[in-house]
Amino acid sequence: ANKAFGLAAVNSINWARILAQIVYYFYAYMRIVPKPVDTDAPRRKISFSVPTGNFGDILAGYYAKRMGLPVEQLVPATNENDIIHRFFSKGEYFKPAAVSPTLSPSMDICVSSNFERFLYHMADDKPQVLSEWMETFEKTGKLQADAELLEKSQREMVSERLSQDEIIATIRANYEQHQYLLDPHSAIGVGVADKLVGKLTAGVPVVCLACAHWGKFTDAVGKAIGEETLANIKFPGELEALKTLPTRKTVVPATVEAVMQHMSKTTGK
């Protein structure tokens, strides 16, 4: 099918997507930090708080830092499905029995697919060491970092999590104080940055990466600011137009063959 249709999934484990995400960090830095008059002077650093589930976007920040971007701290911000936060805070990378549905569904994961890439570098780029770690994890559902691995990882990132109530409170507070409406994913980055004020380097700007538009998550936003208030907020034109466009769909049997036949018919291949 891939050869016939030229298919590619640009999901968060796709390396091409991570390459593109690296650009965000350089772009944000150049927007925030003015070009120094003295080109020999050290460049000012900034930090990034990144909502994460599958560890792709924050991994891009890690690579941006390794490429030379002046990054002070990288902050993986999680929801209640906090396998990443538990690793950075306790050294416990334990697969949970189930995913907890939350207000930020794109971050509801059991295991972070890209985290293995980060662990590779924490293993000093030794594939055999990483292989042993991951074999243990596959067999037991647990990876317990020793003191050395935990300390090394914590030098690279500091994490925190937000509960459901904290997400709602963050959306509400930012709307009331700044008239800026966050979606429940982006709110985790902002809320975690606020929560870590005492742990992040004082005086260093923190960029919170946005993940989505609030218009896709009106149930959560309505809980935060009130349905009546939300009803009076105008949607962007692109989203508003979707409400009146016709819905087109084709129902096919749930088999690989049926899907391939439909694709062939639709594309003429």
| Cβ(13)–Cβ(54) below 8 Å | yes
Q: What percent of the chain has pLDDT over 70?
A: 99
Q: pLDDT tens digit string along 15-53?
A: 999 999 999 999 999 999 988 877 788 889 999 999 999
pLDDT score of 218 more than 90: yes
Q: CA nearest 144: which of 180, 99, 95?
A: 95
Instruction: Inform me whether the pLDDT recorded for 120 exceeds 90.
Output: yes
Q: In angstroms, rounded to a whole number, what is the distance separating the alpha carbons of residues 221 and 223?
A: 5
Q: What is the pLDDT of residues 237-265, one digit of tens each?
A: 998 999 899 999 999 999 999 998 998 89
Q: What is the pLDDT of residue 41?
A: 80
In contact, 51 and 74? CB cutoff 8 Å: no
- Rounded-to-integer distance, Cα 173 and Cα 190, Å: 11
Query: Looking at residue 6, what is its pLDDT?
Result: 78
pLDDT at 212 over 70: yes
Band the pLDDT of 197: cuts 50, 70, 90.
very high
Q: What is the pLDDT of residue 1?
A: 58
Tokens 């927007």, residue?
31
pLDDT in tens, 70-103: 999 999 999 999 999 999 999 999 999 999 999 9
Burial class (CB in 10 A: 0-12, 13-18, 19+), 124: exposed
Q: For the residues 176-191, what does the mean pLDDT come to? A: 97
Tell me what pLDDT residue 7 has. Answer: 78
Decide which of 3 and 239 is more confident: 239
pLDDT of the residue at 57: 96
| DSSP conformation letters of 45-87 | PEEEEEE-SSSHHHHHHHHHHHTT--EEEEEEEE-S--HHHHH
- Helices within 91-246 (DSSP H only): 115-122, 127-140, 147-156, 164-178, 186-195, 218-225, 227-231, 237-242
- 93 pairs with which residues across the strands? 143
